[in-house]
Amino acid sequence: MERKRKSAGPLHGSPIEDYCMIGDCETAALVSREGSIDWLCWPNFSSAACFAALLGTRDHGYWKIAPAGKVTAVRRRYEAHTLVVETTFETKDGEVCLIDFMPPRERGEKHSHVVRMVRGVRGRVAMRMELAIRFDYGRTIPWVTSTDHELRAIAGDDMVTLRTKVRLRGEGMTTCGEFTVRKGETVSFTLTNSSPLDKAPRELQVERALARTQRFWKQWSGKNKYRGPYLEAVERSLITLKAMAYRPSGGIVAAATTSLPERIGGPRNWDYRYCWLRDTAFMLLILMQAGYVEEAVEWRKWLLRAVAGAPDQVQTIYGISGERQLVEWEVPWLPGYEGSRPVRIGNAAVDQFQLDVFGEVSAALSRTPEAEDEIRVSASSLQAALVNRLCKVWPEPDEGIWETRGGAKHFTHSKVMAWVALDRAIKHHEQYGAGGNVKRWKKNREMIHREICKKGFDKKLNSFVQSYGSKQLDASCLLIPAVGFLPPDDPRMIGTVEAIEKRLMKGGFVERYDTKKTKDGLSGGEGAFLACSFWMVTSLWLMGRKADARAMFERLLAVRNDVGLLSEEYDFGRKRLVGNFPQALSHIALLHAAFTMSGLWKPETPVKAKGL
């Protein structure tokens, strides 16, 4: 895809959709179409950023490599089946290709690298490199020293080393270098993260590192068993999710960023560099069906470690290694993406009671490969403990799937997921003969089903509603048939889908709920939630409205950026991606819709409550 070049300007980064992601399965960087890395947390996803221009100004850290003169056109793509990105710049003097990647770390390797290679394609192009390293989310200016073709930036326990043959110089608080690339020539830059207390990082052989990175991603992509329609979109989403899986632990972060706004200029800016349990159920299903058993098992091992302990201490969010303390605080020195404040680090939702988590965890634990006997035994024991706890707490109100800060309610989706927890535990324990008070579980499953159908459905609206007694709709109710609570063709579900189409769809996309009418403790609106829109695709397809589902799916694919990535939401008024980026849940929902449309996935047969 080719576009006219946009100016990033000196004050903030590029539009969210103008970024792509590179990563080494332990952290990730965002690279703009301008050739600027404006976001990178080192050494892992939840570390402090050393490039934070995305949420501030260039004074907060960035690394740009681009033609020194006017650029007439920019083309960008991921190399097929990889996470290696190629950005081609055209000028009046010629054409160059900027290749960006992060080599996955070899076993036992401490250091993480970002490699940037400029290759001459045509003519002779003058280039410029600008590097401003700012540790601690753009606050700390490092002490910089240089010898020959090596530059080191140090502050406290942080050190970044730049190696290149380009002559470098200081310009204000920025390191700069000019060079010229002719056809057939390659100029390379390697940036390495380490600690000044360790031995100096070894010099990377860039061509060998490129070949190794290409081989890693192509071998991984080659395991994909999906052969349905929209294969390119499916593969790109799978690669994106793999890149967001923290390799040492198996945990998958919800996004690579923090505080990208759900509405430009608004306060709904959250830190998503953590692992949400609710992403597990559909995520594990997709990984298994796509052929990625190893990743599914590693994720489940992470899950078992993270939620180990007392059942009443289960959280909805954990750190990438299972950390429980995720204290939320605001960063006063960062002005926010396009002035969207506050910038938040950590997430206070970790302290919320969210009933739906029991359902997602129970469903995830039930999807254990039979060969994994050791995991299945521990998973069955944990599942039983969680479900026993659930039998006590499900009648209580909670904060719900959307982590609203307007007080606890009896959210319909939360109660449905409580039913899922019991349903999956019953089936799992009956299949494997594990211990558990199945009779008690069945009684509670029956009570929850009856209560939801009585209190969560509004006959006048002919729709399930956000919470008991409410008149507000909620797109999370689209998941009711997907989890097997009711069949897709149940009149109540048909009515719910039609009501959401009428009242929550705007511009062809689905909003989570009406933020103007729902007291969620937050000010400001938001864009259409992309995962909800894909849930609508799945619902329409399961109801038999296949043409409508396919049309909507293709409309959603069209809002991906030029390299196939999605954020959390879409501002259909401004026609812009908003929210954290790339967003795991958006890509999970895309994959689930694609698997549904291909016939590779169908919901479980509902267990009907007596008398209904």
Q: What pLDDT sits at residue 1?
A: 35
Q: Mind listing the pLDDT tens digit for each residue in 534-561?
A: 999 999 999 999 999 999 999 999 999 9
Q: What distance in Å separates the CA atoms of residue 571 and residue 509, rounded to the nearest whole number?
A: 9
Structure tokens at 446: 């029956």
Q: What pLDDT sits at residue 225?
A: 94
Strand boundaries in 24-142, DSSP class E: 28-32, 36-41, 49-51, 62-67, 73-78, 85-91, 94-101, 112-132
Please check the confidence at residue 3 and state whether its pLDDT lies above 50: no
Q: Which residues pair with 439 in a beta bridge?
A: none
Q: What pLDDT sits at residue 309?
A: 77
Q: What distance in Å separates the CA atoms of residue 290 and residue 26, rounded to the nearest whole number?
A: 22
Mean pLDDT of all residues in the chain?
91
Please choose, from the candidates 82, 43, 78, 39, the residue with its C-alpha nearest in 3D space to the C-alpha of residue 246: 43
For residue 401, the one-letter residue type is I
Q: Mind listing the pLDDT tens digit for each residue in 169-184?
A: 999 899 999 999 999 9
Minimum mean pLDDT range among 163-172, 183-192, 244-253, 513-522: 513-522
Q: Mind listing the pLDDT tens digit for each residue in 421-434?
A: 999 999 988 887 76
Please check the confidence at residue 117 and state whether its pLDDT lies above 50: yes
Q: What distance in Å separates the CA atoms of residue 555 and residue 421, rounded to the nearest whole number?
A: 34
Quickly name the fold that domain 2-198 has: Beta-galactosidase; Chain A, domain 5 (2.70.98)
Residues in Cβ contact with 166 at an 8 Å cutoff, skipping those fewer than 6 apart: 129, 149, 177, 178, 179, 187, 189
Question: Hey, what's the torsion of the CAs at 505, 507, 510, 515, to 10 degrees?
Answer: -80
No. of H helices and E strands in the chain?
Answer: 13, 27
Q: What distance in Å separates the CA atoms of residue 87 and residue 3, rounded to the nearest whole number?
A: 12
Cis peptide before 342 (omega within 30 of 0): yes
Q: What is the mean pLDDT of residues 312-334?
A: 93
Q: Is residue 466 exposed (0-12), middle (13-18) or buried (19+ Cβ within 10 Å)? A: buried
Q: What pLDDT sits at residue 404?
A: 75
Q: What is the mean pLDDT of residues 13-37?
A: 96
| 240 and 85 Cβ atoms separated by less than 8 Å | no
Residues in Cβ contact with 241 at an 8 Å cutoff, skipping those fewer than 6 apart: 252, 283, 584, 587, 588, 591
- The pLDDT confidence band at residue 39, using thresholds 50, 70 and 90, is very high
Please choose, from the candidates 148, 155, 162, the residue with its C-alpha nearest in 3D space to the C-alpha of residue 196: 155
Chain centroid to CA 184: how far?
A: 37
Q: What distance in Å separates the CA atoms of residue 496 and residue 462, rounded to the nearest whole number?
A: 7
Domain boundaries, the chain: 2-198, 227-597
Residue whose tokens read 């959210």 = 411
| 483 and 417 Cβ atoms separated by less than 8 Å | yes
Q: What pLDDT sits at residue 8?
A: 36
| 101 and 215 Cβ atoms separated by less than 8 Å | no
Strand boundaries in 92-218, DSSP class E: 94-101, 112-132, 143-147, 150-155, 158-164, 169-171, 174-182, 186-194
Q: What pLDDT sits at residue 12?
A: 54
- 186 to 97, 120, 123, 201: CA distances (angstroms): 9, 6, 13, 23
Cis peptide before 43 (omega within 30 of 0): yes
Q: Mind listing the pLDDT tens digit for each residue in 202-239?
A: 889 999 999 999 999 999 999 999 999 999 999 999 99
Q: What pLDDT sits at residue 605?
A: 80
Q: What pLDDT sits at residue 371?
A: 38
| 580 and 262 Cβ atoms separated by less than 8 Å | no
Total-model pTM: 0.94
Angle, vertex CA 552, rays to CA 258 and CA 509, nearest 5: 45
Residue whose tokens read 């993270």 = 306
Element (H, E) at 162: strand 158-164
Q: Mind listing the pLDDT tens digit for each residue in 384-414?
A: 889 999 999 999 999 999 987 678 999 999 9
For the domain covering 227-597, report its CATH number: 1.50.10.10
Please check the confidence at residue 370 and state whether its pLDDT lies above 70: no
Q: What distance in Å separates the CA atoms of residue 287 and residue 244, rounded to the nearest whole number?
A: 14
Q: Which residues pair with 570 in a beta bridge?
A: 528, 577
